Amino acid sequence: MTDAAFPADITPSPGKQGLWARYLRRPAGVAALAVFLLVVLVGLFAPLIAPHDPNFVDFALTQTPPAPGHLMGGDSAGRDIFSRLLFGARTTLYGAAVACLAGVALGVPAGVAAGYFGGPADRICSWISDAAQSVPGMIVLLIVAAGTGGDFTVLMVTVGAFMAPGYYRMSRSKTLAVRNEPYIDAARVAGLTHTKILYAHVLRAVHAPVIIQSALTAGVAMGMQAGLQFLGIGTASNPNWGQMMNDGFRTMLTHPLILLWPSAALGVTIAALAFMGSTLGDLVSVRTEPVSRRARPAAPPRDEGARSGDLVHAVEDSALRVENLRVTYRTPDGDKQVVRGVCLDVAPGEVLGIVGESGSGKSQTVFSTLDLLPAEGHSTADGVWIAGRPVGDLPRAKRHALLGTRIGYVPQEPMSNLDPCYTIGNQLVEPLRAVHELSKDEAKERARAILVRVGITDPERVLASYPHQISGGMAQRVLIAGAVAGNPSLLVADEPTTALDVTVQAEVLELLRELQQEYGMALVIVTHNFGVVADICDRVAVMKDGKIIETGPVDQIFTQPGDPYTAELIHASQDDTESRAELDAAWNKAGRTVRT
Ligand SMILES: Nc1ncnc2c1ncn2[C@@H]1O[C@H](COP(=O)(O)OP(=O)(O)OP(=O)(O)O)[C@@H](O)[C@H]1O
C-alpha cells in the first residue's frame, strides 16, 4: 500500500516558524512577499528616496513623458509622477492597515465570543453581522464622507467595518471548531478562566486565518480606497494612487502613461497581497507536503498469522476489498499498531457496518482505506481494491483522484467539514466543475437537483447560505449531497449521525439507505451503535483493539453473536433504551418498521 497521505486538516497546527519556513519554499509566495515588502519599504522611506517634493508644481513638467530627472514624467498639474507614486504608497498602505485593523477589532472578538459562549451572544452577534452585510456600503461611505469632511482615517475605519462580518464569520467558525476539543475541556477542568482559555487556545486557532483574511482584505480595502479617491472623496492633501488615476483618466487618450503608473502600482500591490493570502491559505488549511520518511513510523511487520476478518466476495465482485491492513502510529512511547491485519470487503449494493467501541480502530481502518491518514500514521496492506481494481500501489495523486468520483465520504462532524468562508453553493459547485468538468451552469443545476434529492426543500436559499446559517442536520444533508453528487460506487460514512439530534439521526439514516439503494452504491458505515447497524446494514464487522473479531450477516450476529464482546456490545446498545426508543419512535413516525 502507498504511504499514508495527509488529511484535509483545517486546524492551523503548524508553528509560526514551520509555517514561514514552508512559505519560503513556495516561489510564487516568495515573489509576492518580495513585491509587498518593496511597496512597504517604498512607503516608509518615500521622503528619503523621492527625488522631488510630490506637491511641487513646475509648469514646464506638465504632461511630459519620462525623462532623466523625472523617471515617469509629469502629471497634468506639472508634478513629478514618480515622487507622487512613492508617497502614494504610504497613503495606500496606511488606509489598508486602518481598514484591516478596524475589521479585526470589530469582527474577531465578536466572532470568538459568539463561537465560544454561544447562546444569546451568538444570536445577537450573528444578527448584527447579517444586518451589516445588507447595508449598502457606498451610500454609508458617502454619508460618512459628507459628515466628516472626507476624513481619510474615518473613511477607512468605515471600510473596515464593512469587512468585519468576514472576520466575524471566519473567527466564529474556527472557534466553534475548537470549542469542544478535548484540550479545551481539560483546560476548563484544570480551572483555567475563560479569558485564559480564549487567549491560550482559541486565539491560537484563529490567528493564522486572521492573517490570511487580512492579506485578502487589505487588497480589497486598497481597491475601495482608490475608488473613493478616484471619485474625489476624501482629503486630497496627501498624494494617493486613486487621485493620480483620476488625473490620468482625464488625459488617458493623449497621455496614457499618466494613468498607467498608478494603475500598475495598485494592481501589482493587490495581486501580491492576493498571492500571499492564497499561499498562506494553502499552507494553513491543507498540509500537502510529505514529511520525511525518517519521521514516519517504521512499516509494521507483516504477520501472516494475525489477520482478522472475512473476505466473502470475489475480488472482481467487490466495491471495496482490503487485505491484511495494518496502521501504526509513532507515539512518545514508541510505535503503536492501531489496526492489526484487518480484512474486509463489501459488494456493490451492500451495506457493511464497522462497529466497535471508541478507539477500536474503526476510523483508522476507513481513513487508511481512503489514504487519508495523518502524517504520523503509516499503513501497509497486502492489497486494497476499489471496484475490483487494485489501488494500493497507485501514486497518491491517482489514489486521491478516486475521492469524489469513485468514492464518496460522509464525515462525522458536518459543520467542521464545510468551509465557513464560502457559501454552500460554492462548495458544491466547485468540486463538480473541477472534478467532473461541468460548466458553471451545469454544476449549479446538478447541485440544486441533488440538494432537492437529499430533502432540502429550499435549495436556492441553502445554496446562497454560509455554513453558519444552516442547521447541523442540513449541513449533513449538504455533505451527503456532495458525497453522492459524483455518482460514486462506494460511499463511506464515518459515524454520520453521531453529531445530530435523535430525530435528525433517523432522517439521515433513512436518506443514506434510500440513496444507497437508488444509486446501487456499496455503503460502509462506521458506528459504535448497534441500533444503527440494525437499521441499515446487511453485514457487520465487529472491531476490538484494532482487529475484526467477528463478521457476519446482521440477523445472524444479532441472534447468535459468536463472541462475548459482540453480545456485550448488542446488550449495551439495547440498554441505551432512551436513545433507542427515541430512534424507534422517529422511525415509526416516518412509517418505517423498526428492525430489532
Ligand atoms: N494521531 C494519532 N496518534 C496516535 N494514536 C492515534 C492517532 N489517531 C488515532 N489513534 C489511536 O488509534 C486507535 C484507533 O482510533 P480510531 O479513531 O480508529 O477509533 P474509533 O474506533 O474510530 O473510535 P472513535 O469513534 O472514538 O473515533 C485509538 O487508540 C486512538 O487513540
481597491: which residue's cell?
223
**What pLDDT shows up at residue 426?**
84
pLDDT in tens, 525-564: 999 888 888 888 999 999 999 999 999 999 999 888 888 8
Residue 78 falls in which region: left (phi positive, over 0), alpha (psi -120 to 50) or beta: left
- Which residues, at least 6 apart from 329, have a Cβ–Cβ distance to it below 8 Å? 297, 335, 336, 338, 376, 377, 378
**Residues forming a β-bridge with 522:** 490
Residue 65 grid coordinates: 513623458
CA nearest neighbour of 58 among 80, 84, 83: 80
Cα dihedral across residues 499, 503, 506, 510: positive or negative: negative
Q: In angstroms, what is the span from residue 402 Cα to ligand 1's centroid?
A: 24
Q: In angstroms, what is the span from residue 284 Cα to ligand 1's centroid?
A: 23
pLDDT in tens, 427-436: 888 778 877 7
Cα dihedral across residues 134, 137, 138, 142: positive or negative: positive
* In the predicted structure, residue 397 carries a pLDDT above the cut 60: yes
Considering only CA atoms, which residue is closest to atom 18 of ligand 1?
Answer: 361
Q: In angstroms, what is the span from residue 361 Cα to ligand 1's centroid?
A: 6
Looking at mean pLDDT, say which of 295-299, 403-407, 591-595 comes out highest.
Answer: 403-407
**What pLDDT shows up at residue 159?**
93
Residue 234 falls in which region: left (phi positive, over 0), alpha (psi -120 to 50) or beta: left
- Residues 10 and 51: beta-carbon distance below 8 Å: no
Q: In angstroms, what is the span from residue 201 Cα to ligand 1's centroid?
A: 23
The CATH fold assigned to 304-406+490-589 is Rossmann fold (3.40.50)
pLDDT in tens, 562-583: 888 898 888 877 665 444 444 4
Enter the DSSP assignment of 416.
G
**What pLDDT shows up at residue 542?**
94
**What pLDDT shows up at residue 212?**
86
pLDDT in tens, 81-112: 999 999 999 999 999 999 999 999 999 999 99
Tell whether ipTM is more than 0.85: yes
* Helix 203-230 and helix 81-117, axial crossing angle in degrees, nearest 10: 140
pLDDT category of residue 591 using cuts at 50, 70 and 90 = very low
- Residues 127 and 102: beta-carbon distance below 8 Å: no
Average pLDDT, the chain: 83
> How many whole angstroms separate alpha carbon 131 and alpha carbon 142?
19
**Residues forming a β-bridge with 328:** 337, 378
Probe target for ligand 1 pocket from 338, 354, 365, 378, with the most ligand atoms within 8 Å of CB = 338
Helix (H, G, I), strand (E, B) or coil at 548: strand
What number of other Cβ atoms are within 10 A of residue 256's Cβ? Answer: 11
Probe target for ligand 1 pocket from 357, 363, 370, with the most ligand atoms within 8 Å of CB = 363
Q: Over range 173-201, report the average pLDDT.
A: 69
Q: Where are the alpha helices (DSSP H) in 310-439?
A: 362-369, 396-401, 424-436
Phi/psi at 485 (nearest 5 deg)?
-60, -30
Q: Which residues line ligand 1 (CB under 6 A)?
A: 329, 331, 336, 338, 356, 358-364, 374, 376, 495, 528
Residue 315 grid coordinates: 475480488
* In the predicted structure, residue 301 carries a pLDDT above the cut 70: no
Helix (H, G, I), strand (E, B) or coil at 371: coil
Considering only CA atoms, which residue is closest to atom 4 of ligand 1?
Answer: 329
Q: In angstroms, what is the span from residue 524 Cα to ligand 1's centroid?
A: 18
Terminal-residue alpha carbon distance, the chain: 39
Helix (H, G, I), strand (E, B) or coil at 131: helix
Residue 243 grid coordinates: 487621485
> How many whole angstroms separate alpha carbon 412 and alpha carbon 52?
63
Residue 272 grid coordinates: 501580491
- Residues 189 and 132: beta-carbon distance below 8 Å: no
Atom of ligand 1 minimally distant from the CA of 546: 14
Q: In angstroms, what is the span from residue 339 Cα to ligand 1's centroid?
A: 9
pLDDT in tens, 369-395: 888 787 678 889 999 999 999 998 888
* In the predicted structure, residue 481 carries a pLDDT above the cut 70: yes
Superfamily in which the 16-285 domain is placed by CATH: MetI-like (1.10.3720.10)
Q: Among 11-15, 18-22, 467-471, which stretch is predicted with the lowest mean pLDDT?
A: 11-15
pLDDT category of residue 15 using cuts at 50, 70 and 90 = very low
Considering only CA atoms, which residue is closest to atom 6 of ligand 1?
Answer: 329
**What pLDDT shows up at residue 5?**
30
> How many whole angstroms separate alpha carbon 473 and alpha carbon 462?
12
* Helix 241-250 and helix 256-285, axial crossing angle in degrees, nearest 10: 140
Enter the DSSP assignment of 199.
I
- Helix (H) / strand (E) element for 33: namely helix 27-44
Atom of ligand 1 minimally distant from the CA of 331: 4
* Helix 152-179 and helix 119-133, axial crossing angle in degrees, nearest 10: 140
pLDDT in tens, 313-350: 999 999 999 999 999 988 777 788 999 999 999 999 99
Q: Over range 261-285, report the average pLDDT.
A: 87
CB under 8 Å, gap of 24 or more: what pairs does 53-61 form?
53/83, 54/79, 54/80, 54/83, 54/84, 54/86, 54/87, 54/239, 55/79, 55/239, 56/80
> How many whole angstroms separate alpha carbon 377 and alpha carbon 369?
13
CA nearest neighbour of 95 among 230, 260, 240: 240
* In the predicted structure, residue 44 carries a pLDDT above the cut 70: yes
Q: In angstroms, what is the span from residue 176 Cα to ligand 1's centroid?
A: 22
More confident call, 487 vs 301: 487
- Angle at the Cα of 370 from the Cα atoms of 522 and 408, rounded to 5 degrees: 45
Q: Over range 3-13, report the average pLDDT.
A: 32
pLDDT in tens, 196-247: 778 767 887 788 888 888 988 898 889 888 888 888 887 667 888 988 888 8
- Residues 376 and 297: beta-carbon distance below 8 Å: yes
**What pLDDT shows up at residue 164?**
94
Atom of ligand 1 minimally distant from the CA of 356: 21
**What pLDDT shows up at residue 530?**
85
Phi/psi at 480 (nearest 5 deg)?
-65, -40
pLDDT category of residue 25 using cuts at 50, 70 and 90 = confident
Q: In angstroms, what is the span from residue 563 Cα to ligand 1's centroid?
A: 23
pLDDT category of residue 302 using cuts at 50, 70 and 90 = low
What percentage of the chain has pLDDT greater than the value 70? 86
**Identity of residue 81:** I
* In the predicted structure, residue 300 carries a pLDDT above the cut 60: no
Helix (H, G, I), strand (E, B) or coil at 375: coil
pLDDT category of residue 2 using cuts at 50, 70 and 90 = very low
SS (H, E, C) 501-533: CHHHHHHHHHHHHHHHHHHCCEEEEEECCHHHH
**Identity of residue 535:** D
Domain parsing of the chain, residue ranges:
16-285, 304-406+490-589, 412-487
pLDDT category of residue 181 using cuts at 50, 70 and 90 = low
Q: In angstroms, what is the span from residue 592 Cα to ligand 1's centroid?
A: 34
* In the predicted structure, residue 507 carries a pLDDT above the cut 70: yes
Atom of ligand 1 minimally distant from the CA of 360: 21
**Identity of residue 79:** R
Considering only CA atoms, which residue is closest to atom 2 of ligand 1?
Answer: 329
> How many whole angstroms separate alpha carbon 200 and alpha carbon 190?
14
- Which residues, at least 6 apart from 272, have a Cβ–Cβ distance to it below 8 Å? 32, 33, 35, 36, 39
**What pLDDT shows up at residue 490?**
93
Q: Where are the alpha helices (DSSP H) in 58-181?
A: 81-117, 119-133, 137-148, 152-179
Considering only CA atoms, which residue is closest to atom 31 of ligand 1?
Answer: 359
Atom of ligand 1 minimally distant from the CA of 528: 25
Q: Over range 429-458, report the average pLDDT.
A: 87
> How many whole angstroms separate alpha carbon 400 and alpha carbon 157?
45
Enter the DSSP assignment of 200.
I
SS (H, E, C) 440-462: HHHHHHHHHHHHHHCCCCCHHHH
**Identity of residue 120:** P
Distances (CA, A) of 54 to 87, 239, 240: 7, 7, 10
**What pLDDT shows up at residue 52?**
92
- Residues 248 and 259: beta-carbon distance below 8 Å: yes
**Residues forming a β-bridge with 80:** 74
* In the predicted structure, residue 593 carries a pLDDT above the cut 60: no
* In the predicted structure, residue 59 carries a pLDDT above the cut 50: yes
Considering only CA atoms, which residue is closest to atom 3 of ligand 1?
Answer: 329
HSE, CB side, 13 Å, CA atoms: give it for residue 529.
Answer: 19
Helix (H, G, I), strand (E, B) or coil at 589: helix
